[in-house]
Every structure is written in structure tokens, then in C-alpha cells.
A and B are shown apart, each in its own frame.
Chain A
Amino acid sequence: MTKRQKSGGLLGRIMEHRAYYIMLLPGLIYFAIFKFAPMYGVIISFKDFRMNSGITNSPFASPWYKHFLDFFSSPFWGELLANTIAISMSKLLLGTLFALLLALILNECRSSLLRRTVQTITYMPHFFSWVVVYGIVYIFVSENSGIVNRFLNELTGSTIPFLTSPRYFRSVLYVSHIWKGMGYSSIVYLSAMASIDMNLYEAALVDGAGRFRRIFHITLPGIRSTIIMLLILNIGNILNAGFDQIFVMYNSQVYSVADIIDTWVYRAGLQEMRFSLAAAVGLFKSVIGFIMVFGTNKLAKIWEEGIW
């Protein structure tokens, strides 16, 4: 075997593994067409795309950065970027806080039946689609038939337009985000807590530390590196404010607080057919996103090496 490898060289080794390459082929074709070809397709950001000419034959725009100029000189780009960052940062911080609290509470719970029940039911919404979650949100807070508004109407005679008012819409986004994701996100923290050395707790107990002291001096420091790692990594995704959720829930009345880069790209590109402009905005987002993720990954690695 080794002899043949030496004498066969690279070509021989490739021939030896030919069955493996055949296995890889369908998957690699998929990646070539649906992942790498679109990366070439971003070239239409610099062109005036025409459906009849296709990606390759459409003429270049003049100047080539025309669509970027259009976007950055338009009034909405500041709002889009601000909305995107505000929504994703708030979701990240609130999501982390609630997942952490849930994990702490579950970790302190002494009744395993109660713990398992709450775990089961809080993990579940993660697997529902945003449409289903929207349905649930809708029956609670819609202005005409929502339960909350029915009560408000009985009590005060007026209703609150949670889903159509810029004042309340973001709160709906955050609350539904927390409700859907808190359980699932808590899993990582719970398992980080499970790996804390039990001897620490026993030693603290002997020293007379109460439950709060043990949480603040053992549990939280024990998972600090996990929390910081996840925060760092998630900051890389700051330009993904959650198209899935917002697209299902928003409407034109709340564009001023809810329109994010992704929803705008969808409307400009696929509804208004301004393909080149939308692709340019998409490319801007991809490039910034790539730099952010790459940077935060590096940062996370440095952090990881710093503590171990």
C-alpha cells in the first residue's frame, strides 16, 4: 500500500480514491450551481441587468458603481442600516439575557419533573415556523380580534394597534423572538453549567455560601467564557436582523421601524424588479457581514486561547 502510494504519486492517489470523488460529485455540483454561481452573479451589481441578456451579457453600468451611488445617496439607506443594527442588537442582548436567566432558573430547580416539563414546552416553539408564531401573536394582539385588545376595549374603551403602530411593533418583534427562542438558546448555557466542577459547590456550601452567592460566585463565572464566546460570535451576524420573522409580521405602516436590509432587498429586487440595485445592496451586506463574521471569529479564537 505505502509503496504504491509513493510510486503512484498524486495521480495514483487520486485514482485510488476515485470512488470517493464520485460520491462527492452530486454535492459539489449543488454547491457550484447554487452557492458559487450566485457569487459570480453578484457581478450584476456593477451592470445594468436585463432579463433577456442574462447575467453575463448585460452591459456594465456607467459608472460601474452607479447602483451603489444610488443606494448610498438615497434617503432610506441610513434608516435601513439603523433599523437592521438596532433590531439585531436588541434581539441579541435580550435573547442572551432571557436564555441565561432561564438556564439559571432551570439549573437551580430541584424538582426534576417541573424542570423537564418547562424544558419540553419552552424548547418547542423553536421548531414552529414564524408563520405559526405569527398566528399565535395575532390572536393575542391583533387590533380587531386579539384577546389583549378585547380586554383593553372592555376596560378602557380603546385598543392598541400593536401590529400596525411604529410605537409598539418592535416590542412585538422582541417579545415573540424571546418566546420562540429562549428555551432553545438556554441549552448551551445549561450544558456549560453542567460541566462546572461539583466540588466547587460543595466547598462553597461548607463555607456557608447561600444560593445567590453560589450563583454569582460559581455558576456565572463558570459559564462566563461561554457567554462571551457566543456574544462575540453573534455580533458577527449583526446585519442579519431576522428576515424570516420580520417579513411575516410587518406591514407598510411600520416600515419606518421594521424595514431592514433583507426585506428591502426582497421588495426592490423581486417585487419591483430592480435587480441590479437590489443585488448591489445585497452585496454590500454580504461583504460587511463577511468582514464582521471573519473578524469576530478571529476575536473569539484569541479570547479562547487567552483563557485556556
Chain B
Amino acid sequence: MIKRATIGEKIFDSAIYFVLAVLFVVYFVPLIYVVISSVTPYSEVARSGGLVIIPKEITLSAYSQIFKQGLIPRALGVTVFVTVVGTSLSMALSVLLAYPLSKQTLPGRKFILQALVFTMYFSGGLIPTYLIVRQMGMLNTVWAMIIPSVVSTYNVMLIRNYFQNIPAELFEAATIDGCGPTRSLLSIALPLSPPVLMTIMLFYMVSFWNTFYAAIYYINDPNLRPLQVILRDILNSVVGNMENVDVNIPSMTIQMASIVVTSVPIILVYPFIQKHFTKGIMMGAVKG
């Protein structure tokens, strides 16, 4: 092995560091800019014509403003409900599908699997799905944002693959000791699968928190609009001058504060997601 770095190597390394530093800026600046402009007082924004790099003082008035009026708190409530109830239902249904389908001996297993996989390749499309949701009486209910997308076939397959890799001897031993299928699921399969379950739970959580399209399709009631829809309206100034908004707070500051409120939970769970998702992706890649 040659240890000494040549001049060419050094230039190469510096170029790599430079590109990565530029990349860091390209990602970091927009994020931090949103946060900074959400806490910059109006006086400073006015003085500098809107461009504030580092504010001399910070204010949380935009936040107290958006929480004082009903719009965002109500939307936050809807989104939290959808996320908590949706994730719980998704996990329960996905595990209950994945576990039986991981049993090689189950009669009809192959047929059910093929039917599920088929739904990944072909769908009835938006309009027929809308009509079914309508027929189920779910339009303008919070359930329209949860039930129509409660199970992801892909996630079911990931959990099933994981269950299948648990040594069969464990289940056989449990059966001999008198464990039924339910006990086996609860006390063998689930306790052995935290990595995959955590990954998939986080994926479901993120997708429910980001609920937007289901609300666009199925919800007309302004009281049931989730956070993402409200954020879109605030950005497009549909609700720009909301009731009782303090005119001393520029609309851009309100917009930035709304972006922060909408994305903070993602940032909070992100460290947990990051720990797991590489594994999640590779699980999918290996078994397709």
C-alpha cells in the first residue's frame, strides 16, 4: 500500500470537500432561512427590505399570532388525530396481513399474495376510488384521510419478509408448548421484529402527517382541513388576511412560521427515522 498522498490526490480530496461544503450550504441555507425569517421582528424586515440574514432581536409574535386564531390549532388537531389513529390502524392491519402470509403452510397463501401484489401494478384510478369513498359515506369525514390508504402493500411485504426469516423452530417449539397463532404472533414474531416494525411505523407516521391529497380529494369542510392544506392556503394567500391578524406582522413571517410548525414534527422524528430507513430501503431492494 502506498500511504503518501500525491499532489493530485490532495487536489482531488479538496475538490470533494469543496463540493460537499457547497451541497451543505444548498440544503442548510433554505432551512435555516425559513426559521430565521419566522422570528425576525417587522421593524427589521422593513428596514432591510425583507432580507434579514441575522436578526438583532428575535420575536415569537408570528407564532403567538397563528396559535391565537383558530385556523392552525384546528388543523393541527386534525393532523394529529389522523397521524395517531392512522398509524395505529395501519400497523395493526399490516401486521395482521403480514403474519399469516408468512406461514408457508397456509392454504391459499399464494393466491392472496398475488392479489395483493396485483394492486401495486394496477389501480382503478382516482375517479372510481373517489366514488367508492363517497359510497362508503366517508366524504367530509376524518376517516377519508385515513381509511382509503390505510395499508401499503409494499410495507406488508417488508414485514412479511422479516417474519419469514424468523427461524421456524421457534414457532414449532411454541406450538408444542401449546401456543396458538395469536400467542405466537404476540410473544414470538412481534418481540423479534422491532427494527422492521419501527421503520414501517415511521414511514406510516410521516405519510399521515403529510396528508394532503386525501384532503384535497375528499374534504370540503373547512373545519376538517389538515395542516398541509392550511399551509398551502397560507402560502397562496388564500387566507392571507385571516380574521384578526395583526397588521404589524408581515404575511411572509406568518408564512415562514407556518412552514416551521408544519415541519417540526418531521424534524423531531427524523433522527429515529434516519437510524432505520437505510435498512428499510435495503430490505425492499433485496427482495423486491
Chain A residues with a Cβ under 8 A of chain B: 10, 13-14, 17, 19-21, 23-24, 26-28, 30-31, 33-42, 44, 54-55, 102, 105-106, 108-111, 114-115, 117-118, 120-125, 127-132, 134-136, 138-140, 145, 147, 150, 179, 187-188, 191, 202, 205-206, 210-212, 243-244, 247-248, 262, 265-266, 269-270, 275, 278-279, 282-283, 285-286, 289-290, 293-294
Contacts and interface: CB of A to CB of B under 8 A. Distances in A.
B252 A139 contact: yes
Contacts of B217: 266, 270
Contacts of A17: 100, 103, 105-107, 181
B166 to A, nearest CB: 16
Most central of A17, A40, A120, A275 by chain B CB within 10 Å = A17
Nearest to B94: A27
Interface in B229-288: 229, 231-232, 235, 252, 255-256, 258-259, 262-263, 266-267, 270, 273-274, 277-278, 281-282, 285
Pairs of residues from A and B, 7 with the lowest C-beta to C-beta distance, nearest first: A38-B124, A41-B128, A282-B125, A20-B100, A129-B210, A27-B97, A38-B128
Nearest to A5: B105
A123 to B, nearest CB: 7
> Chain B contact residues (Cβ within 8 angstroms of A): what range?
35 or more
Contacts of B273: 127
B127 A135 contact: no
Contacts of B123: 35, 38-39, 286
B49 interface: yes
Given A13-B105, A135-B231, A34 B121 contact: no
B282 A191 contact: yes
Given A34-B148, A127-B273, A138-B235, A188 B285 contact: yes
A147 B50 CA distance: 8
11 contacts: A19-B180, A26-B96, A30-B93, A39-B122, A42-B124, A42-B128, A105-B23, A121-B27, A131-B229, A262-B126, A270-B127
B278 A13 contact: no
Interface string B81-111: 0000000000001101101110101111000
Contacts of B107: 10, 13-14, 17
Interface of B: 1-2, 8-9, 12-13, 16-17, 19-21, 23-24, 26-28, 30-31, 33-34, 37, 49-51, 93-94, 96-97, 99-101, 103, 105-108, 112, 115-116, 119, 121-133, 135-136, 147-148, 150-151, 156, 180-182, 185, 206, 209-210, 212-213, 216-217, 228-229, 231-232, 235, 252, 255-256, 258-259, 262-263, 266-267, 270, 273-274, 277-278, 281-282, 285
Contacts, number: 253
B234 to A, nearest CB: 9
